[in-house]
Amino acid sequence: MTTIKGPAVFLAQFIGDQAPFNSLDGICQWAADLGFKGIQMPTLDNRFIDLQQAAESKTYADELKGKINSYGLEITELSTHIQGQLIAVNPAYDKVFDGFAPAAYHNNPAARTEWAVQQLKYAAKASQHLGLNAHATFSGSLLWHMFHPWPQRPEGLVEEGFKELARRWLPILNEFDTCGVDVCYEIHPGEDLFDGITYEMFLEQVNFHPRACLLYDPSHFVLQQLDYIQYIDLYHERIKAFHVKDAEFNPTGRQGTFGGYQSWANRAGRYRSPGDGQVDFKTIFSKLAQYDFKGWAVMEWECCIKDSETGAREGAEFIKNHIIPVTTRAFDDFAATGADSEFNKQILGIK
């Protein structure tokens, strides 16, 4: 078993235009002061990382890593959630997802997808240069609008959608394989990979690619009413990244999982800061330790009630208190009788 690394924090929800969140030095000092040991880095803001340069220059990657290390921090993973979303976009979402890409690619879905693919390939090489072995992203979606269809889905539509998703991702997965880095899909509503079954469908289409792995975030499963503990038992061999994000589900006679188009604060299912929701993190940390998870516990803040800086401060301590320093011996070793084949045969009555 391995002691989980942490605490770490995903920077995406904290980056901004005000100090200390507007520079790499500032945000690293902030994270270190709160007790974090790692940062998960989004890759679209050049104030923090130039993704292309990190892919093309080992020197730049070493200097970036050195600066972060100087604050007592490590990079846990790079994140291309935004770019990964753009690998597959249904035309119904073209306008709203254009905002995820540079203006030069707006109103040009093919060019936007090509840009996103290149971004993922840069991320593979940048991760290798930084000495990382896992990468966080989204799968994108061609089918999400059909998850609860009316009228019924045309026969073969889902199968065709997953074949196309796999076709787009296979060259990217192969690039990550060349670089020795796992692609960790965050299983998430709004993506075609949103639960265990959809992940299995995708895995089959990419020929069970060894780099097609998982970012485990239980909050999304609370909102779906999926057994997030059994999920670890089922997929622990593929779980290579971990978001510590809480959630709660409080259905009423007026709304349930779909949320009635309400704001996050008014939905039956909503995200909370670590410790404020219903997720059983004690069992999760135990399960991951038992299954020898070798990655980081990374706090992701998306609470609809609590202030983000308060959530970060409390989150660092929450993770620290949940990490289990794993034992190096069995509790009953003091009573061990040793290994002796002849003695064992005597006990069993074997002559």
CATH label of the domain that carries residue 303:
3.20.20.150
CB 136 within 8 A of CB 79: yes
281-290 and 228-235 helices cross at what angle (nearest 10)? 10
- pLDDT at position 332 over 80: no
In this structure, the strands spanning 246-249 and 269-272 are: antiparallel
The whole domain housing 98 covers: 5-348
Q: What is the CA angle 55-61-65, rounded to 5? A: 140
Find out whether 205 and 163 touch, Cβ atoms under 8 Å: yes
Cα distances (Å, whole numbers) of residue 48 to 40, 101, 109, 262: 11, 18, 27, 34
What does DSSP assign to residue 328? S
Among 174-178, 233-237, 337-341, the least confident range: 337-341
Q: How many domains does the chain have?
A: 1
Q: Average pLDDT of 77-86?
A: 98
Q: Which pLDDT score, from 0 to 100, does residue 303 have?
A: 97
| Average predicted confidence (pLDDT) for the chain | 96
State mean pLDDT over 291-312. Answer: 97
Question: 12-24 pLDDT, tens per residue?
Answer: 999 999 999 999 9
Is the Cα dihedral 319, 321, 322, 324 positive or negative? positive
Tens of pLDDT, residue by residue over 145-158, are 999 999 999 999 99
pLDDT at 224: 96
312-328 pLDDT per residue, tens: 999 999 999 999 999 88
To the nearest whole percent, how much of the chain has pLDDT over 90?
Answer: 93
Is residue 113 within 8 A of residue 83, CB to CB? The reply is no
Q: What would the mean pLDDT of 39-67 be, rounded to a whole number?
A: 98
Q: What is the DSSP letter of 191?
A: S
Instruction: Give tens-digit pLDDT for 205-252.
Output: 999 999 999 999 999 999 999 999 999 999 999 999 999 999 999 999
Average pLDDT rounded to a whole number, residues 324-335: 83
Q: How far apart are CA 214 and CA 184, in angstroms?
A: 4
- In the DSSP assignment, the letter for residue 93 is G
On whether the CB atoms of residues 88 and 140 are closer than 8 A, the answer is yes
**What is the mean predicted confidence (pLDDT) over 195-214?**
98
Angle at which helix 58-69 crosses helix 109-129, to 10 degrees, equals 70
Residue 97 three-state SS: helix
pLDDT in tens, 87-128: 999 999 999 999 999 999 999 999 999 999 999 999 999 999
**Tokens, residue 292:** 């020898």
DSSP 293: -
- pLDDT, position 314: 98
Q: 10 Å Cβ neighbour count for 30?
A: 19
Q: Where are any strands of DSSP class E within the chain? A: 5-10, 38-42, 74-80, 134-137, 182-186, 212-216, 239-244, 246-249, 269-272, 296-299
70-98 average pLDDT score: 97
- Residue 343's pLDDT band (boundaries 50, 70, 90)? confident
Q: Which residues are bridge partners to 76 per DSSP?
A: none
Q: Looking at residue 97, what is its pLDDT? A: 97
Q: Where are the alpha helices (DSSP H) in 143-184?
A: 157-179
Maximum CA extent, the chain: 82
Q: Provide the pLDDT for residue 320.
A: 98
